[in-house]
């Protein structure tokens, strides 16, 4: 449960300036004048495996397209790395999500995302794969030109079954990355 409470705390911290600064929020920002170009991104982070009680470096690539100023769709691939010394555990996921955006200034945009993740989870020589819901949030900072920096926190739940033994692994992925807008 530590991971879920961390997500709630992070989301509260991200959204608290919005609650107290309603009159200062700018709905229209510089991205609106560029239309709805597609974007691609890459990020590096840390994946915290809750059940394994260990963490690993993570890597992800993603791409998406804004439908308007408030909504976007995004596809991505994340490699959570491997953990454990005696019995190795590793996971990857391909995900699709709907992203809700809120401009906090001309350069800073907060986002929340929810979607489906098709994951593959290996523990020792056992393997399972399925689809589960994931969610996340973060901020994008427009650096200039077509580049933006992203800080994201994502929660992936993996409900795996190995030879009639259930393994409910929660992976909290915290990452920093770059986005290129076409």
**CATH number of domain containing 149:** 2.40.160.20
Closest by alpha carbon to 145, among 107, 100, 175? 107
Q: Which range scores top for mean pLDDT: 3-7, 22-26, 88-92? A: 88-92
Q: How far apart are CA 51 and CA 20, in angstroms?
A: 37
pTM over 0.75: yes
Q: What percent of the chain has pLDDT over 70?
A: 81
What pLDDT sits at residue 77?
98
> Between 82 and 7, where is the model more confident?
82
Closest by alpha carbon to 78, among 96, 60, 55, 62? 60
What pLDDT sits at residue 41?
98
| Count of domains observed in the chain | 1
Res. 156: pLDDT tops 80: yes
| Encoded tokens for 17 | 């300036």
What pLDDT sits at residue 164?
80
**Domain of residue 33, residue span:** 2-181
Res. 179: pLDDT tops 50: yes
Q: How far apart are CA 89 and CA 19, in angstroms?
A: 40
Summarize pLDDT for 12-71 with one digit per residue, the tens. 555 555 444 444 444 444 444 456 789 999 999 999 999 889 999 999 999 999 999 899
Output the DSSP codes for the chain. -HHHHHHHHHHHHHHHHHHHTGGG--SS-GGGGG-S-EEEEEEEEEEEETTTTEEEEEEEEEEEEESSSSEEEEEEEEEEEEE-SSS-EEEEEEEEEEEEEEESSSSEEEEEEEEEEEEEEEETTEEEEEEEEEEEEEEEEEEETTEEEEEEEEEEEEEEEETTEEEEEEEEEEEEEEEEE-
Write phi, then psi, for 96 (nearest 5 degrees): -130, 140
Quickly state the pLDDT bin for 87 (edges 50, 70, 90). confident
Phi-psi region of 2 (alpha: psi -120 to 50; beta: other; left: phi over 0): alpha
């Amino acid at each position: 449960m530590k991971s879920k409470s961390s997500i709630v705390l992070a989301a509260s911290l991200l959204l608290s300036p919005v609650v107290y600064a309603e009159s200062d929020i700018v709905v229209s920002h510089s991205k609106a004048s560029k239309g709805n170009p597609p974007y691609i991104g890459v990020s590096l982070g840390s994946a915290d495996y809750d059940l394994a009680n260990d963490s690993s470096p993570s890597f992800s690539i993603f791409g998406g397209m804004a439908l308007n100023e408030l909504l976007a769709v995004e596809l991505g691939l994340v490699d959570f790395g491997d953990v454990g010394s005696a019995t190795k555990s590793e996971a990857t996921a391909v995900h699709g999500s709907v992203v809700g955006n809120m401009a906090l200034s001309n350069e800073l945009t907060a986002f929340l995302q929810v979607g489906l993740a098709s994951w593959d989870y290996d523990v020792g020589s056992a393997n399972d794969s399925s689809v589960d819901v994931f969610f996340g949030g973060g901020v994008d900072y427009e650096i200039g030109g077509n580049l933006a920096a992203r800080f994201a926190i994502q929660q992936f739940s993996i409900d795996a079954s190995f030879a009639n033994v259930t393994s409910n692994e929660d992976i909290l992925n915290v990452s920093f990355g770059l986005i290129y807008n076409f």
